[in-house]
Amino acid sequence: MREVRMDGPYRPAALGASAQGLLGRPVDRYDGAAKVSGTAGYAFEGAPEGTLYGHVVGAEIGAGRVLSVDVAAAEAMPGVVAVIHDDPRMPSGEANSEHAPKVGPADRIHHYGQPIAIVVAESQEAARAAAGAVRIDYAPSEGRFDSRAAEVEHDHKLGFLPTIRRGDLDAALAEAEVVFDERYATPVHFPAALEPHATIAWWDGDRLTVRASLQIVGAARTAIAVALDMPEAKVRVLAPYVGGGFGGKTGVGPETILAAIAARRTGRPVKIALPRRQIAYLGHHRTDTVQRLRIGCNRDGRISAIAHEGVAAQKEDRTFLEPIPFGTLPLYAGKVRHFATSLVRVDLPGTGAVRAPGEAIGTFAIECAMDELAERLGLDPIELRRRNEPETDPLSGKPFSTRRLLDCYDEGARRFGWDRRAATPGSVREGEWLIGAGMAASLRGNFTVKSEARVTLDADGRAVIETDMTDIGTGTYTILAQVAGEMLGLGVDRIDVRLGDSEMPPSAGSGGSFGAGSSASAVALACEDILAELARRMNAAPEELSLKDGVVTAGGRSTPLADLVRGKPIVASGRMGPGKESKATSQASHGAHFCEVAVNGVTGEVRVRRMLGVFDVGRVLNEKTARSQIVGGVIWGIAYALSEDGVVDVRSGRFVNPDFGEYHVAVNADVPQIECHFIEEVDDHANPAGAKAVGELGISGAGAAVANAVYNATGVRVRDFPITLDKLLPGLPPV
Whether omega before 722 lies within 30 degrees of 0, making that bond cis, reads: yes
Site string for other proteins, 452-491 (x = CB under 8 A): --------------------xxxx----------------
Burial 328-343 (b: 16+ CB within 10 A, else e): bbbbbbbebbbbbbbb
Say how far apart CA 428 and CA 135 lie, in whole Å. 61
Closer of 522 and 626 to other proteins (Cβ):
626
What is the identity of the amino acid at 149? A
Query: Coil, helix or strand for 365?
Result: helix
CB within 8 Å of 377: residues ≥ 6 apart: 178, 297, 299, 300, 301, 384
Closer of 126 and 728 to other proteins (Cβ):
126
Q: Which stretch binds other proteins (CB under 8 A): 88-96, 406-414, 433-441, 619-627?
A: 619-627
The least distance separating other proteins from the CB of residue 498, rounded to whole angstroms, comes to: 17
Report how many residues bind other proteins under the rule CB under 8 A.
63
What is the identity of the amino acid at 417? G
Instruction: Give residue 300's Cα distance to chain centre.
Output: 37
Say how far apart CA 235 and CA 216 lie, in whole Å. 14
Query: Coil, helix or strand for 480?
Result: helix
Instruction: Give residue 258's Cα distance to chain centre.
Output: 26
Q: Among 500, 542, 632, 653, indicate the residue that binds other proteins (CB under 8 A).
A: 632
Say how far apart CA 249 and CA 259 lie, in whole Å. 16
Asked if 567 is part of the footprint of other proteins (rule: CB under 8 A), the reply reads no
Angle at CA of residue 312, ends 212 and 222, nearest 5°:
30
Closer of 274 and 732 to other proteins (Cβ):
274
Asked if 509 is part of the footprint of other proteins (rule: CB under 8 A), the reply reads no
Asked if 46 is part of the footprint of other proteins (rule: CB under 8 A), the reply reads yes
The least distance separating other proteins from the CB of residue 423, rounded to whole angstroms, comes to: 29
The least distance separating other proteins from the CB of residue 9, rounded to whole angstroms, comes to: 31
Say how far apart CA 341 and CA 162 lie, in whole Å. 8
Closer of 6 and 273 to other proteins (Cβ):
273
CB atoms within 10 A of CB 11: 16
Query: Coil, helix or strand for 204?
Result: strand
Asked if 624 is part of the footprint of other proteins (rule: CB under 8 A), the reply reads yes
The least distance separating other proteins from the CB of residue 27, rounded to whole angstroms, comes to: 10
Q: Could you tell me which of 286, 237, 287 has the C-alpha nearest to residue 257?
A: 237
Q: Among 1, 3, 16, 39, indicate the residue that binds other proteins (CB under 8 A).
A: 39
The least distance separating other proteins from the CB of residue 296, rounded to whole angstroms, comes to: 38
Evaluate whether 259 touches 271 at the Cβ level (below 8 Å): yes
Beta strand extents in 617-728 (DSSP E only): 648-649, 654-655, 674-678
Asked if 129 is part of the footprint of other proteins (rule: CB under 8 A), the reply reads yes
Q: Which stretch binds other proteins (CB under 8 A): 32-40, 98-106, 281-289, 457-465?
A: 32-40
Eight-state DSSP code of residue 639: H
Q: Do strands 570-578 and 2-6 pair parallel, antiparallel, or not at all (unpaired)?
A: parallel
Closer of 249 and 590 to other proteins (Cβ):
249
Closer of 91 and 633 to other proteins (Cβ):
633
The least distance separating other proteins from the CB of residue 668, rounded to whole angstroms, comes to: 4
Closer of 222 and 510 to other proteins (Cβ):
510
Q: Among 68, 567, 673, 734, indicate the residue that binds other proteins (CB under 8 A).
A: 673
The least distance separating other proteins from the CB of residue 697, rounded to whole angstroms, comes to: 14
Site string for other proteins, 181-220 (x = CB under 8 A): -----------xxxxx------------------------
Angle at CA of residue 219, ends 217 and 220, nearest 5°:
60
Q: Among 15, 22, 23, 29, indicate the residue that binds other proteins (CB under 8 A).
A: 29
Say how far apart CA 467 and CA 574 lie, in whole Å. 10
Whether omega before 187 lies within 30 degrees of 0, making that bond cis, reads: no
Closer of 244 and 733 to other proteins (Cβ):
244
Q: Among 328, 448, 628, 643, indicate the residue that binds other proteins (CB under 8 A).
A: 628
Say how far apart CA 101 and CA 114 lie, in whole Å. 12
Select which of 94, 322, 452, 696 is catalytic.
Answer: 696
Closer of 121 and 463 to other proteins (Cβ):
121
- For residue 359, indicate whether it is catalytic: no
Q: Do strands 674-678 and 606-616 pair parallel, antiparallel, or not at all (unpaired)?
A: parallel
Say how far apart CA 391 and CA 381 lie, in whole Å. 19
Site string for other proteins, 266-305 (x = CB under 8 A): -------x-xx-----------------------------
Site string for other proteins, 236-255 (x = CB under 8 A): -----xxxxxx---------
Q: Which residues make up the interface to other proteins (CB under 8 A)?
A: 28-29, 31-42, 44-46, 123-126, 129, 192-196, 241-246, 273, 275-276, 472-475, 624-625, 627-629, 631-633, 635-636, 659-661, 665-674
Q: Which residues are catalytic?
A: 696
